[in-house]
Amino acid sequence: METKILFLCPNNNFMSGGVKQIFRQAETLKKNGFNASVLLQGKSKQKWFHSDAQISHSPYLFKLLKYILGNRKITFIKKIKLWFLNKRSIPIDKNTILVFPEIYGDKIDKIAPNIKKVIFNQNCYYTFNHYFFEKEYTQTPYNNPNILATIVASKDALTYMNYTFPKLNTYKMTLGIDTSIFSYSSKKQKQICFMPRKLTDDVRQVILILKLRGVLRNWNLVSIDNKNELEVANIMKQSVFFLSFNHREGFGLPPIEAMACGCYVIGYHGEGGREYFNPKFSSPIEGGNIIEYVKKVEELLLIYEKSPEIIIGKGKKASDFVLSNYSMEREEKDTISIWNKILHLFQPLL
């Protein structure tokens, strides 16, 4: 019987790079002949990007996950509710591989414990979510024999996982940038864009200090929030600068998407983004160093005022680097290669 690959996915109605990558991996596998689909609790709320991924539903599994994450006792009434929900859910059997995001922490191996699993760990710094440092953990999902492998998306995450779980099969994939959406544009306005969702305190300090110093006059400041993918890309294409507030990221998509659009990126690499924050065409700032951040923005704004071609040229170099090293073709090749290795490891439980 054909192996069924189900990617558990949070059903967010807000922009999330992690959710987008879950859909994209399932879509890539399906396109290449794998029986893969995104597993949702109910009707998809993802309105901010397009995907042709196959969708399956399991209200049962997500209700069970809610109970386990909340450490709630499964009472007789809850068992009846779960029984009815199971009747409305896609069957999960010994020929199924469940793919979990890392956010569910130490509960991953508690869900359908006899089913083989893969962890798509997009942020290694969330690996120990729901753990308590006072406890001794002799077993985690990552050393459970039913966990076939972990997939990560950056060199930093690969180093983290290999050091922490040396016996685990960990595979690194390349995340590709979709050039039909995020592509170079030389038609720049005097515009600076940023995303305020993470490290809001840092965002506030950097922006307000720059305003107090009067260096943002004649510059349009755009906060990217509650936008779909096309709207995000259009803002980036119009912007000279992107301010990065990456915080302990497994990879960190927004800065590299901004680079693809020709932005000069200033700010935090968040560890995972270290591999693409090249000082030749960007300005990495030590996390939390607000004054250094402000000084660097001020310095680069001054350079732009005197010689805009210098900054625009570096934005073009950034775009060329990203589009040659983080292509969709490379992501697809990595995805297929990794999953062929995982399926070779897969032995359905008898």
Strand partners, 192: 221, 241
8 Å CB contact between 98 and 112: yes
The confidence score (pLDDT) of residue 235 equals 98
Distances (CA, A) of 334 to 148, 152, 330: 17, 11, 6
* CATH architecture group of domain 4-176+329-346: 3-Layer(aba) Sandwich (3.40)
pLDDT at 45 over 70: no
The confidence score (pLDDT) of residue 350 equals 42
**Chain centre to alpha carbon of residue 317:** 24
**What one-character DSSP code corresponds to residue 327?**
-
**What one-character DSSP code corresponds to residue 251?**
S
pLDDT at 2 over 90: no
Q: Where does the pLDDT of residue 70 fall: very low under 50, low under 70, confident under 90, or very high at 90 and above?
A: confident
pLDDT at 347 over 70: no
8 Å CB contact between 265 and 279: no
The confidence score (pLDDT) of residue 348 equals 57
Distances (CA, A) of 152 to 36, 122, 129, 149, 251: 18, 6, 17, 10, 9
Q: Where does the pLDDT of residue 46 fall: very low under 50, low under 70, confident under 90, or very high at 90 and above?
A: low
Mean predicted confidence (pLDDT) in 192-216:
96
In angstroms, the CA 331 to CA 26 distance is 12
In angstroms, the CA 70 to CA 155 distance is 33
Angle at 219 between CA 273 and CA 196, to 5 degrees: 40
In angstroms, the CA 245 to CA 182 distance is 19
8 Å CB contact between 38 and 11: no
Q: What is the pLDDT of residues 86-127, one digit of tens each?
A: 899 999 999 999 999 999 989 999 999 999 999 999 999 999
pLDDT at 14 over 70: no
Higher pLDDT among residues 130 and 11, named by residue: 130
DSSP-derived secondary structure for 107-148: GGGGSSTTSEEEEE-S-GGGTTTT--TTS--S--GGG-TTEE
Amino acid at 83: W
Q: What CATH number does the domain located at 189-326 have?
A: 3.40.50.2000
Q: Where does the pLDDT of residue 17 fall: very low under 50, low under 70, confident under 90, or very high at 90 and above?
A: confident
Q: Pick from 348, 344, 286: which is nearest to 169 by CA?
A: 344
Q: Pick from 270, 269, 267, 280: which is nearest to 320 by CA?
A: 280
pLDDT at 137 over 90: no
In this structure, the number of other CB atoms found within 10 A of the CB of residue 187 comes to 7
The confidence score (pLDDT) of residue 44 equals 64
For the chain, residues classed under CATH 3.40.50.2000 are 189-326
Q: List, edge to edge, every strand of the sheet that includes 147-152.
A: 55-57, 35-40, 4-8, 96-101, 116-120, 147-152, 170-172
Q: What is the pLDDT of residues 229-286, one digit of tens each?
A: 999 999 999 999 999 999 999 999 999 999 999 999 999 999 999 999 999 999 999 9
In angstroms, the CA 34 to CA 337 distance is 12
Out of 4-8, 10-14, 294-298, least confident range? 10-14
Average model confidence (pLDDT) across the chain: 93
**What one-character DSSP code corresponds to residue 33?**
T
The confidence score (pLDDT) of residue 101 equals 95
The confidence score (pLDDT) of residue 12 equals 66
Q: Where does the pLDDT of residue 48 fall: very low under 50, low under 70, confident under 90, or very high at 90 and above?
A: low
SS3 of 80, please?
helix
pLDDT at 190 over 90: yes
